[in-house]
Amino acid sequence: MTRRITWTLLALTSVLLVLAVVPLAVSMTARERVAFRDDQRAATRVIAAAAEEHLSDRKPATGMHRELDAAARAGDCAAVYDASARLLASTPCTAAQGKESEELVEDVLAGREPEPPEDEGRLLAAEPAGEVRQPAGAVVLARSAAPLDARIATIWGWSAAIGAAGLAASVVLSVRLARWVSGPLSALDASARKLGEGALDERADVGGGPPEVRRLAATFNTMAARTEALVHGHRAVLADVSHQLRTPLTALRLRLDLLATGAEGDTAAELAAAQGEIARLSRLVDGLLAVARAEQATPRPTVVRVDEVVADRVAAWSPVAEERGVRLTASEGPALTAALGSGHLEQILDNVIANAVDAVPDGGSVMVGQRAVGDVVRVCVRDDGPGMTAEAKAVAFRRFGNPEARGTGLGLAIVHRLITANGGSARLEDTPGGGLTVVLDLPPGPGRGTSKVWRH
């Protein structure tokens, strides 16, 4: 944003400077040229007046020569011609003589307005001596254009300097303005990103920038404070619910255990059924609390070695799988990294593997593998169990969505919430030959290598 604002203001300033400075310099140049010409013609008329006294009034040529000497001292070249275009007198230099001067004299003596030629380095002017229609002679004055060129160069030099100074000032002001506007916005963007990554105590600076940006930062801080209060309140409620529910359930289970000691017959059967329901209720409470914690999770992504986590969770669940007669294995794969919240991949895999081990009958198998597929890291948990119907798969990621679930029906809901909170996705597919495959697409971590697509 800083660059865009700076370049926009610089472009606008450059256009304004060009539109203001260039026409002014052109106007001043034209005025200098007109002033130079007027001064030259005035000097020519002075000599012409002195020449008229000599040519028309038959006075001595002293005054004419005096004016010619003054013109020579001023650096001009002048020549006086009579009515027959014959040279009468001139300054020591001969710049006022020649073919161009003769043409000007002819125009003046003929009563026409002379048109001085455009000659680089010097300018010519011609004036009649006496009446314009019947002049007694003509005067031609040649003046060097160097002073005019110097003044014009000075005008354009100052114009360029003013334009450069204005542009430099515009650069400084543009950068300061851009930073004044974009700096607080960039800081606000960074604060919003940190808040989204889980830093609930993050607040934006409200001390800089335009009033609108300061109000936006203040509103953001209010929102962040309310979000932090809500999340902390939710966590406190979870902790209270966890304690208030588990304590009476534990006490009730202990009392049932005491009652079951020594019970016989129908009483023992009823107490055993009650103990089973208490255990089921405890698992349900734990599952609901786990889903609630997953739903209010605000993960801070960290780099996770997917292959190491897969190997670790397979090793942890292997004794459970062996006890139930299920073969649990991990396929070989490349060393891949993903960007996930701390401990989230372990929790995801625990729920998926637990569901798969529970669903597979004695003698079945569960395989876990990972590969890089395009821009994601894909982890697949494939089993050869009974699978799921299309209707069950459509609602499997909802709370208690799968009526066919053997457990609490909350495992896949936890998986879906955790993986989507980390920017990934989860879906269910049929395993070729029968069974169910859980496909987990994880956001890649830095430095992930490219590998072949794993087709399942």
pLDDT tens-place string over residues 57-80: 788 888 899 999 999 999 899 999
Residue 403 — pLDDT band, cuts 50, 70, 90?
low
Map tokens 């029906």 to a residue: 409
For domain 299-442, the CATH architecture is: 2-Layer Sandwich (3.30)
Same fold yes or no, 211-294 and 299-442: no
Express each pLDDT in 179-205 by its tens digit: 787 788 888 888 888 887 677 788 888
Q: What is the pTM of this model?
A: 0.48
The CATH class of 2-150 is: alpha beta
How many Cα neighbours within 13 Å face the side chain of 318?
10
Express each pLDDT in 27-43 by its tens digit: 999 999 999 999 989 99
Average pLDDT value for residue range 302-318: 90
Residue 450 — pLDDT band, cuts 50, 70, 90?
very low
Express each pLDDT in 80-129 by its tens digit: 998 888 888 999 888 778 888 888 888 888 888 887 776 667 889 999 98
Tell me which fold the domain 211-294 belongs to: Helix Hairpins (1.10.287)
Average pLDDT value for residue range 300-329: 89
Average pLDDT value for residue range 208-219: 85
Domain limits of the chain? 2-150, 211-294, 299-442
Measured distance CA(446)–CA(456) in Å, rounded: 25
pLDDT of residue 408: 52
